[in-house]
């Protein structure tokens, strides 16, 4: 298998803490799926969970080489976790079509948060 894309993103957790504590739910709703919101909002520190999910979406867009253009939306990228907590990124719609056009078939995601920052890395493989 060959790598067709690599993306990394670093975010400040305080930005997402502010969205939650100031009630800026329109921003949260625009970027995150209902499932992501339900998970993050039940955590003790929702800002850090939103932050790494945002970083995952940004890292995917960087790996894809497109950014948010040509009709790709935040809602087409959803971070999920398996029963052990291992994250994955599910893509649908136009994001999935662009990924297929690039030749990507597998998406690998890793993220972490510590202190003030969250980071995510995405690898796209044929």
Domain that holds residue 92: 3-125
Give the whole-angstrom CA distance, residue 42 versus residue 47: 11
Q: What is the CATH number of the domain that holds 32?
A: 3.90.470.20
* pTM (two decimals): 0.95
**Quick one: what percent of the chain has pLDDT higher than 70?**
100
Per DSSP, 65 falls in state T
* Number of domains composing the chain: 1
Place of tokens 């003790």: 44
Task: Note the pLDDT tens digit of each residue in 46-90.
Answer: 999 999 999 999 999 999 998 888 789 999 999 999 999 999 999
| Mean pLDDT of all residues in 4-13 | 98
3-state secondary structure 1-63: CCEEEEEEEEEEHHHHHHHHHCCCHHHHHHHCCHHHHHHHHCCCCHHHHHHHHHHHHHHHHHH
């Amino acid at each position: 298998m060959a790598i067709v894309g690599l993306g990394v993103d670093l975010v400040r957790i305080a930005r997402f803490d502010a969205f939650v504590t100031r009630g800026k739910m329109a921003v949260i709703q625009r970027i995150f799926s209902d499932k992501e919101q339900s998970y993050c909002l039940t955590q003790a520190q929702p800002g850090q969970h939103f932050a790494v999910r945002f970083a995952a979406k940004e890292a995917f867009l960087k790996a894809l080489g497109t950014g948010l253009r040509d009709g790709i939306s935040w809602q087409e990228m959803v971070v999920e976790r398996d029963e052990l907590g291992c994250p994955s990124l599910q893509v649908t719609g136009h994001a999935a079509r662009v990924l297929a056009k690039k030749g990507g078939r597998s998406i690998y995601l890793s993220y972490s948060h510590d202190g003030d920052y969250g980071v995510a890395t995405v690898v796209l493989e044929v």
